A and B are shown apart, each in its own frame.
Chain A
Amino acid sequence: MLSLITRALCLLAAGTLLGLAVNGVRADGVRFARFAPPSVCTMTPDSGEAPGPAPVEALAPPDAAGLCGDPSTLIADVRPAADFAQGHVTGAIHLPCTASGEAASAAVDLVAGRQTLIVYGDGTDDARRVADELRQRIRRRDLRIVVVSGGFGAWSQAGLACSSGPCLHCAAPAAVSASVTRGPGSAP
């Protein structure tokens, strides 16, 4: 007859196996090898001396475009869906700032394994809001977050590459993930 402790261990083992199996088949499951624990703790101000991750940078469009050829770079467009459909930086995902909380959660997963995240909007400020929120959520020191100065308008005026088309994944962050798994290979 099984003892109380044996039954408890059986249930814990069943939960463990179920968790590993579910995590293995989930597209958004946590990846053991790639997961980077936050390198900076969120200590209270009087005790924290550890340096934080690099702050969000602002780069001129040509400089930002120079980062796009790297497959470890992810580009995010924070403008409304209609503007995204009319034209966006080639390879960009749509990450509207109107849904920044939920979408930013999805973006946390999307940037796993990436080294650079380029965020742009109509101007600099709207992109910076989203970028700052992402910086708060993603404390990885090896992730560089960049805002395009002047936004999409400045990008277009600089004659850099753009694409257009409907935003198929604006409503669901999960769909954003599906889109982005193709990677930002079509860099300008």
Chain B
Amino acid sequence: MRRSAVLALLLRLVLGALLIVAGLLKLRDPTAFATEIANYQLLPRGAAVLAAVLPSIEVVVGASLLALPRLWRRGAAAAALALFVVFTGAVASAYFRRINIDCGCFGTGGGPIGALTLVRNLALIAAAVAVLRLDRSPARRPAVSG
């Protein structure tokens, strides 16, 4: 197995498990999660709908990263990348506006937003990009003639 394939597999496992755990933790108390979203002061009116759908999206994307064939795994990696970009934007917005709120990244009690939260989210973005780049079909060797 090529080194890049091993790395892609490891990153997929980490991202998939992380998304599933985060989604399941958020599913435990959707109303509290809606409050966490509203605390960001970005979409207060849409917080309830987001709280209802985001955890399931995370679980579906995480499970797809772990279990689906390569073509769909890459789609899941792209979806995960989109999620992480949105999450990072929200976290960065709260951080730079100096809003002292819980991250809500793993449901309630996820800890306050700080520079470390931003770094972690940027690392997740990098990991999703890496999966997209590394989890490709192996290049076909040209047929040997003669």
By the criterion CB–CB under 8 Å, are A7 and B59 in contact? no
Tell me how far the C-beta of A21 lies from the nearest C-beta in chain B, rounded to whole angstroms.
Answer: 8
By the criterion CB–CB under 8 Å, are A19 and B38 in contact? no
Question: Which of B32, B35, B71, B101 makes the CB contact (< 8 A) with A37?
Answer: B35
By the criterion CB–CB under 8 Å, are A105 and B32 in contact? yes
| Contact-size category for B | 35 or more
Interface size on A, residues (CB 8 A): 38
B52 interface residue per 8 A CB criterion: yes
Cα(A137)–Cα(B34), bound, Å: 12
Nearest 8 interchain pairs by C-beta: A7-B75, A15-B57, A19-B56, A19-B53, A37-B38, A15-B60, A23-B52, A8-B78
A-binding residues in B (CB < 8 A): 27, 29-35, 38-39, 41, 44-45, 47-49, 51-61, 64, 71-72, 74-76, 78-79, 82, 98-101, 108
Contacts A/B (CB < 8 Å), 25 sampled = A2-B75, A4-B75, A5-B78, A7-B76, A8-B78, A9-B79, A11-B75, A12-B61, A15-B59, A15-B60, A16-B56, A18-B56, A19-B57, A26-B30, A29-B30, A29-B52, A30-B30, A37-B34, A37-B44, A37-B45, A38-B35, A44-B99, A108-B29, A137-B32, A139-B35
